[in-house]
């Protein structure tokens, strides 16, 4: 009887150790070189349609901060100051680094964060190119330049938009099964809209069922009246 109980305890202990070894943990190291953060609390907050949850928090000391905890699932949260979002962060197993600079804010070191921020870097580059070209068009218009040169600028703007959309669709096609794709979709679909924009419709039309079943995506398609046939109810 004693041997049986001893074996049972050992078996349970082994199972607990196995479960613990399968449990993921996250570690986030942060570097801050932006004014207004020293001595302030930063939080990781998950914003859901009907619930807001603070996952973790810490103080910024000497331009550094650190958060650690369990990562049983991959979760998209926001690093916040005074409960106001600063940048999106994926909580997942592994070590991530958050860098807050006056000119750039990034998260790196884990798969989903690397995917999301590599996409964001490309998107920002296209946005900057479009803005620069738009400013050139405005300047040339004020100078009263000929229509032919204005048409060249307009063609350049269209090329930037087309190339950016192709980059977005290529990223989504390669990563529909990754949580980072949902974060990208959230970013692209944010803001008020009365109907489904052409780019969003293109993404949804090509998406596998798994992606359409994700909570945010499903909520968006229901709200906007989108269906798989590509029409809007």
- In which band, very low, low, confident or very high, does the pLDDT at 13 lie, cut at 50, 70 and 90? very low
Give the pLDDT mean for 167-179: 98
The CATH topology of domain 24-108 is Immunoglobulin-like (2.60.40)
Please state at what angle helix 179-189 crosses helix 215-224, rounded to 10 degrees. 30
- If you average pLDDT over every residue of the chain, what do you get? 87
Give the pLDDT mean for 108-137: 95
Give the pLDDT mean for 197-215: 95
Answer whether residue 145 shows pLDDT above 80.
no
**DSSP-assigned states of every residue in 13-61:** HHHHHHHHHHS-EEEEEEEE-STT-TT-EEEEEEEETTEEEEEEEEE-B
């Amino acid at each position: 009887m004693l041997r049986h109980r001893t074996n049972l305890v050992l078996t349970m202990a082994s199972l607990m150790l196995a479960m613990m070894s399968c449990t993921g943990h996250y570690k986030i190291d942060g570097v801050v070189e932006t004014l207004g953060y020293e001595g302030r609390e930063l939080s990781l907050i998950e914003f859901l349609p009907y619930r807001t949850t603070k996952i973790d928090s810490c103080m910024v000391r000497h331009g550094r901060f650190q958060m650690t905890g369990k990562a049983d699932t991959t979760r998209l949260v926001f690093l916040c100051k005074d409960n106001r979002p600063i940048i999106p962060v994926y909580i997942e197993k592994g070590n991530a680094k958050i860098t807050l600079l006056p000119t750039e804010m990034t998260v790196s070191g884990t798969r989903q964060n690397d995917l999301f921020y590599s996409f964001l870097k490309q998107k920002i580059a296209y946005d900057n190119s479009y803005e620069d070209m738009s400013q050139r068009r405005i300047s040339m218009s004020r100078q009263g330049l000929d229509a032919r040169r204005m048409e060249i600028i307009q063609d350049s703007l269209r090329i930037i938009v087309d190339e950016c959309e192709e980059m977005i669709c290529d990223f989504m096609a390669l990563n529909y099964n990754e949580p980072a794709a949902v974060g990208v979709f959230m970013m692209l679909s944010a803001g008020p809209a009365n109907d489904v924009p052409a780019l969003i419709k293109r993404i949804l039309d090509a998406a596998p069922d798994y992606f359409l079943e994700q909570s945010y995506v499903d909520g968006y398609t229901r709200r906007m009246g989108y269906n798989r046939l590509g029409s809007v109810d």
